[in-house]
Amino acid sequence: MRMRSLWMLLMVFVATVGFPKQASNIPVTTYLADVDGTDTAYYVQSDGSGAYKNGVNSVTSILVANGYNQIVDGDWRLDLSSSTSRTLRITFDTANAVQPGDPHYQAPATPPYSGTEYEAARMENQCTLDKHDMLTMKAGDSFQCRTLIRFPGLGSSVYRLFMDSTDYPETSDAQVTCNSVDSGGCNDWFIDPIPVINPDGSTSPGKACARLNFYPGRNQITDEGDFYLTFHIHVTRP
């Protein structure tokens, strides 16, 4: 009899309040710039085929539903790992490898290739780890947060580029800036390396330092050195 009463109370609660709604990813459009204002190529570029739209050509471009610290839709992700037609380009060469004598140097730079290659990469930031929320930003707000790029090696091996000054102190985070808002929150962002503040107070474009880790197999990891990365990412909702 008691169980029946509890069941009836539960049914009344569900009918009145309903089950809690599950968070959903928010589709966004991602644009990767290829060159800067001086026509210099970025070290992370698009594949030259235009904007990355969520659900088109098996592209995932979203604000992630379930972030860290129970923050909903606070992180951005571009995932091309399931697409057969869309990629992004990453450049490794001696010009952007961190060399001995540089204050960011901590291991020899041994990238998987020299030059620029098209990669079925996954790129994302993890702002919610530091309790930052991209969706609730106001126009003009900016903050810095961890950003990483994952791309495949041979077989089941993978590489990860970490811009994460918390776990890899020699590296730098990326900066997220909100450009405009609507009733749903911020709807337009830039993601860039942290800008350089000049002696006169003006700013210039910066470059991010990223640790390259290689994962050849389960529970295996090797440090492949650090690289300076330049990029300009424009994200809009939708």
- Whether residue 194 is contained in a domain is answered as yes
Q: In this structure, what are the phi and psi dihedrals at residue 168, rounded to the nearest 5 degrees? A: -130, 90
Provide φ and ψ at 2, rounded to 5°: -65, -40
Buried b / exposed e along 41-80 (16+ C-beta atoms within 10 A): ebbbbbbeeeebebeeeebbbbbbeebeeebbbbbbbbbb
pLDDT (tens place) for every residue of the chain, 238 residues total? 454 444 444 444 434 444 344 689 999 999 999 999 999 999 999 999 999 999 999 999 999 999 999 999 999 999 999 999 999 999 999 999 999 999 999 999 999 999 999 999 999 999 999 999 999 999 999 999 999 999 999 999 999 999 999 999 999 999 999 999 999 999 999 999 999 999 999 999 999 999 999 999 989 999 999 999 999 999 999 9
Domain that holds residue 154: 23-236
How many domains does one find in the chain? 1
The sign of the CA dihedral 177, 76, 147, 113 is negative
195, 232, 231, 225: which is closest to 94 by C-alpha?
225
90 vs 142: CA distance, rounded Å = 25
Q: Would you say residue 63 lies in a domain?
A: yes
Residue given tokens 């001086």 in the structure block: 38
Q: What six digits make up the tokens of 139? A: 């126009």
Residue with token string 């091996």 = 157
- Classify residue 65: in a domain, yes or no: yes
Q: Is residue 147 part of a domain?
A: yes
CA 129, CA 7: separation in Å to the nearest integer?
Answer: 39
Going by C-alpha positions, the residue among 196, 211, 203 that lies closest to residue 104 is 211
Residue 15, in any domain of the structure: no
Residue 13 lies in a domain: no
Least Cα distance to 234 among 184, 168, 181, 187 occurs for 187
Q: Residue written as tokens 């702002």? A: 127
Residue labelled with tokens 């800008």: 195
In a domain, 6, yes or no: no
Q: Is residue 17 part of a domain?
A: no
CA-based radius of gyration for the chain: 21
CA distance 186 to 237: 8
Q: Say what the pTM is.
A: 0.90
